Amino acid sequence: MPGSHLPLLEEGMARWPFGPPNAGIALDFAGSPPALDELRTLVEERWKALPRLTQTLVAPGARTGLGRWTGRHRWARADGHPLGHQVDDVDGTLRDVVRHWFHTPFPADRPPWGLHLLRGSAQGEFSLLFRMHHSLLDGRSLTTLLRALFDDGRPLDGAASLAVPGPRRRTAHAAPAAGGPPGLLAAGRPVPLPQQGAREPAYALVGLRPDVLRAAREAAPARTATTNEVFLAAVSGVLRSRLSDDDDDGARPGAGRASRPVWLSVPVDERPNDCGEFLGNAFANVRVPAPVTLADPAARLGACTGLLTTVTRARSTSERLVEGTLGALPGATMALAGGRIFAPAYAPAACSYVHLREQGQTLAGRPLRGLNIVPMVPPAGTATFALGGCTRGHTLSVATNSGARDAALLAEAFLTELAALAEWGRDRSAARTGRG
User: What is the pLDDT confidence band of residue 197, given thresholds at 50, 70 and 90?
Assistant: confident
Q: Which residue has the higher pLDDT, 222 or 173?
A: 222
CA distance to 220, 223, 270, per residue, from 427 (Å): 11, 14, 38
Give the span between the Cα atoms of 422 and 426, in whole angstroms.
6
> Does pLDDT of 248 surpass 60?
no
Among 55-64, 214-223, 228-237, 331-340, where is mean pLDDT lowest? 331-340
Length of the chain: 436
User: What is the pLDDT confidence band of residue 65, given thresholds at 50, 70 and 90?
Assistant: low
> Does pLDDT of 223 surpass 90?
no
* CA 157 from centroid of its chain's CA atoms: 25
* CA 373 from centroid of its chain's CA atoms: 7
Among 9-13, 63-67, 402-406, 421-425, where is mean pLDDT lowest? 63-67
User: What residues have CB less than 8 Å from 64, skipping those under 6 apart?
Assistant: none
Q: Among residues of the chain, what percentage have pLDDT more than 90?
A: 64
Phi, then psi, of 202 in degrees rounded to 5: -150, 160
User: What residues have CB less than 8 Å from 406, skipping those under 6 apart?
Assistant: 193, 194, 195, 196, 197, 202, 383, 400
- Taking the model in full, what pTM does it have? 0.92
Q: Which residue has the higher pLDDT, 160 or 248?
A: 160
Give the span between the Cα atoms of 350 and 306, in whole angstroms.
18
Q: Is 78 helix (H, G, I), strand (E, B) or coil?
A: coil
**Mean of all residue pLDDT scores within the chain:** 88
Residue 66: what pLDDT?
A: 62
Among 76-90, 99-113, 158-172, 314-328, where is mean pLDDT lowest? 314-328
> Does pLDDT of 35 surpass 50?
yes
DSSP 181: P
Per residue, the 3-state secondary structure of 111-141, as one string, reads: CCEEEEEECCCCCCEEEEEEEEECCCCCHHH
Residue 254: what pLDDT?
A: 40
Residue 255: what pLDDT?
A: 46
User: What is the pLDDT confidence band of residue 359, given thresholds at 50, 70 and 90?
Assistant: confident
Give the span between the Cα atoms of 99 and 202, in whole angstroms.
8
Q: Where are the beta strands (DSSP E) in 83-200?
A: 87-90, 113-118, 125-133, 168-174
User: What residues have CB less than 8 Å from 233, skipping those under 6 apart?
Assistant: 225, 291, 297, 300, 301, 303, 304, 417, 421
User: What is the pLDDT confidence band of residue 408, given thresholds at 50, 70 and 90?
Assistant: very high
Mean pLDDT of 305-317: 81
What's the burial of 106, exposed, middle or buried (CB within 10 Å: 0-12/13-18/19+)? buried
Give the span between the Cα atoms of 226 and 198, in whole angstroms.
36
Give the span between the Cα atoms of 247 and 238, in whole angstroms.
17
Q: Which residue has the higher pLDDT, 183 or 89?
A: 89
> Does pLDDT of 403 surpass 60?
yes
Among 6-20, 214-228, 322-336, where is mean pLDDT lowest? 322-336
Q: Among residues of the chain, what percentage have pLDDT more than 70?
A: 88
Mean pLDDT of 264-281: 93
> Does pLDDT of 436 surpass 70?
no
Give the span between the Cα atoms of 46 and 86, in whole angstroms.
14
CA distance to 318, 319, 379, 408, 409, per residue, from 400 (Å): 35, 31, 8, 10, 11
Among 9-13, 177-181, 222-226, 284-288, where is mean pLDDT lowest? 177-181
Residue 350: what pLDDT?
A: 98
Intra-chain end-to-end CA distance of the chain, in Å:
60
Residue 2: what pLDDT?
A: 52
How many CA atoms does the CB half-sphere of 429 hold within 13 Å?
13
Q: Are strands 113-118 and 87-90 parallel, antiparallel or unpaired?
A: parallel
User: What residues have CB less than 8 Å from 334, skipping those under 6 apart?
Assistant: 12, 15, 17
> Does pLDDT of 134 surpass 90?
yes
Question: Which parts of 25-92 fold into alpha helices (H)?
Answer: 36-47, 67-70
